[in-house]
Amino acid sequence: MIDLSPLRGSRFAVLGLARSGLAAARALRDAQVEFAAWDDDATKRAQAQHQGFALADPTTLDWNRWDALVLSPGIPHSFPQPHAAAAAAKAAGKPVIGDIELLARSAPAARIVGVTGTNGKSTTTALIGHILKTAGVEREVGGNLGPAALDFRPLRADGVYVLELSSFQLELVPSLRCHAAVWLNITPDHIDRHGDLAGYIAAKRHIFDNQRAGDVAVIGIDDAESRRVAEQLTGGTRSVVTVTVGDARAAGIRVVDGRLTDGTSDAAIDLRPIKTLPGAHNWQNAACAFAACRALGLTAGAIGRGLASYPGLAHRQERVAVVDGVVYVNDSKATNADATAKALAAYGAIYWLVGGTPKAEGIAPLAPLFGHVVHAFLMGKSSDAFAATLEGKLPYTLCGDLKTALKAAHAMARHDHRADAVVLLSPACASYDQWPNFEARGDAFRAMARALPGAVIEAGGGA
């Protein structure tokens, strides 16, 4: 657990007692820093009280006597409607911060890599952590992914904290300094929280706010908004390293036909044989991880060895089994069309398990990739709407649920004997109609695929 004793003498109110809020409360308690905890859910309050945390409703506090509100990132503090506690703190001139800000304040000299973007954050964060581990660098990995930041082990001066940072978290870190700040890409997301795309981009840009001379901004420039951000940052005190996939003439780091090239060292790494990094989107993740690790002083050879041994992440194009040459891939994390597009582009003969609680865009944006799909197996609440989208464009079967869809896809793939066949769970939907979360959905798919007769178990994922 991070030592917050440098913050003694301050008083904090902690609002929201899920993963990050509970970690903050534990760390403050263990460091003997005065705080009060609260959650609007009575059950969570009771659990916190059972753990010995002092409770106080932050909407009723005299904010002249408190130093900051530590807010869980899922709670709105400005748009669309600020929580009453956030409004009260701001009215008193007190900052609204997150748990990662407590890490930044307690360890201002720590080496930190921050990773943000709309897609690929988790893979890139985990990939950087894996490369550092294989190179013998002490590191802790988490934030939006994995453990909360305050549950990290304290590291020595040469260690590295690798943080996945969402837009919600980045709005709550006024003093966080990222020695290497990675910006992968931007597509519209969380508009209900940020108001519009400009608000979303502004939140993401906080990752660069406190960089200094010698720090590095790594920016994927394969979309127009990200190119604009790179142009705006170029010429400052930090170094800007651009990353692109497919443009052989581009400066910076580029991947062309699966071959990663570092323009400054002429190092080259062939990414195509790495099963856990399939597709152009994963090549972008790998190239950004390469750039961040170079910024930390690793050699191209050490990074290449780390990339080659990367085991992948669960639910991100995770290869879970092979049956008679057909690969079964768990991409349950793909909860919108943009994420599913990455998976559809990565394979050529897909038996597609799709559906659940639909997002507003549905699957219509995926039409240019329907040629990669042999047959679609529709499940969940979205089935009728998706059937209407696919009518006349792609053969489909209404299956109802995941078990039925997998059984039908398995039978058809075995019958067809297509080369490079993939049974792909990439739902383009949230899971809440039939599953508590995407992890439960993916775990079920993995277990069912591995239970198929003749299944050879594979370990390792992707996006």
Residue position matching structure tokens 């406190």: 210
User: What's the domain range around 71?
Assistant: 5-97
pLDDT of 463 reads 43
121 is annotated as an active-site residue: yes
Alpha carbons 252 and 299: distance in angstroms, whole number: 16
pLDDT of 8 reads 96
Supply the Cα-derived Rg of the chain in whole angstroms. Answer: 23
463 lies in some domain = no
Q: Which of 26-30, 237-241, 246-250, 308-312 has the lowest mean pLDDT?
A: 246-250
pLDDT of 256 reads 93
**CA angle 195–197–198, rounded 5-degree value:** 90
3-state secondary structure of 413: helix
Q: Of 77, 97, 117, at which residue does a domain stop?
A: 97
Same domain? For 287 and 140 the reply is: yes
336 is annotated as an active-site residue: no
3-state secondary structure 200-250: HHHHHHHHHCCCCCCCEEEEECCCHHHHHHHHHHCCCCCEEEEEEECCCCC
Same domain? For 292 and 346 the reply is: no
pLDDT of 462 reads 47
Please give the biggest Cα pair distance in the chain.
72
Tens of pLDDT, residues 148-161: 999 999 999 999 99
Residues 6+ apart with CB under 8 A from 233: 208, 217, 219, 240
From 90, 133, 190, 407, the catalytic residue: 190
Tens of pLDDT, residues 372-384: 999 999 999 999 9
Q: Of 308, 330, 364, at which residue does a domain stop?
A: 308
pLDDT of 191 reads 74
Same domain? For 173 and 226 the reply is: yes
Task: Answer whether residue 452 shows pLDDT above 50.
Answer: yes
The arithmetic mean of pLDDT across residues 299-327, rounded, is 94
The arithmetic mean of pLDDT across residues 191-196, rounded, is 79
462 lies in some domain = no
The domain that contains 272 carries what CATH number? 3.40.1190.10
Same domain? For 150 and 113 the reply is: yes
Q: Of 269, 287, 308, at which residue does a domain stop?
A: 308
This prediction's pTM = 0.86
44 is annotated as an active-site residue: no
Of 230, 225, 236, the C-alpha closest to 253 is 230
Same domain? For 227 and 284 the reply is: yes
